[in-house]
Chain A
Amino acid sequence: MEHGSYADNSNATFSLTDEDHTLANAVRFSLNQDPRVSFSGYSIPHPSDNRVNIRVQTTGAPAREVLKDACQDLMMMCQHVRSTLDVAVADFKLRNPPKKDEDTDMK
Chain B
Amino acid sequence: MAKKDQKMSETETEEEETEAESMSESESGSEEQKQESKGGGIDYIMSLPDVPRNLPPHVELQRTRVFANIDAPTHTDSIQYSGAFASVGLDNSFRLDQFRNNFRVEVIRFSDDGMDMEFDMIGIDPAIANAFRRILIAEVPTMAIEKVFIANNTSLIQDEVLAHRLGLIPISVDPRLFEYAENNAPNERNTIVFKLHVQCAKDLEEEKGQSKKKKEEKKVPPRITVKAKDLKWLPKGSEFYLESEDSNSNSSSKSKTYTSFTCSQDSLPKFSNNKIGFKEPLDDINIARLGPGQEIELEAQAVKGVGKTHAKWSPVATAWYRMLPEVVLLEEIEDEDAETLKEKCPVGVFDIEDIANGRKRLTVARPRACTLCRECIRGGEEWEKRVSLRRVKDHFIFTIESTGALPPEVLFTEAVKILESKCERVISELS
Using CB atoms and an 8 Å cutoff, list the residues of chain A in contact with chain B.
Answer: 1-2, 14, 16, 19, 21-23, 25-30, 32-35, 37, 64, 67-68, 71-82, 84-89, 91-93, 96, 98, 100, 104, 106
Contacts and interface: CB of A to CB of B under 8 A. Distances in A.
Nearest to A64: B430
Given A78-B416, A80-B103, A106-B109, A26 B131 contact: yes
Contact of B427 (A19, A71, A100): A71
Contacts of B104: 84
A71 B426 contact: yes
Interface in B74-118: 80-83, 91-94, 96, 99-100, 103-110, 112, 114
> Which 9 A-B residue pairs are closest in the complex by CB-CB distance?
A33-B94, A29-B127, A32-B80, A92-B107, A88-B105, A71-B423, A26-B131, A22-B134, A35-B93
A2 B426 CA distance: 12
Nearest to B96: A76
Interface in B375-431: 409, 412-413, 416-417, 419-420, 422-424, 426-427, 429-431
B178 interface: no
A22 B130 CA distance: 7
Given A80-B103, A96-B110, 16 more contacts: A16-B429, A25-B130, A25-B131, A27-B423, A34-B93, A35-B91, A71-B423, A72-B423, A75-B424, A77-B124, A77-B128, A78-B417, A78-B419, A80-B99, A88-B107, A88-B119
B96 A106 contact: no
Contact-residue bracket for chain B = 35 or more
B139 interface: yes
B72 to A, nearest CB: 22
A21 B419 CA distance: 12
A70 B91 CA distance: 17
A13 B81 CA distance: 19
Residue of A33, A81, A82 with most partner-chain B CB within 10 A: A81
B191 to A, nearest CB: 25
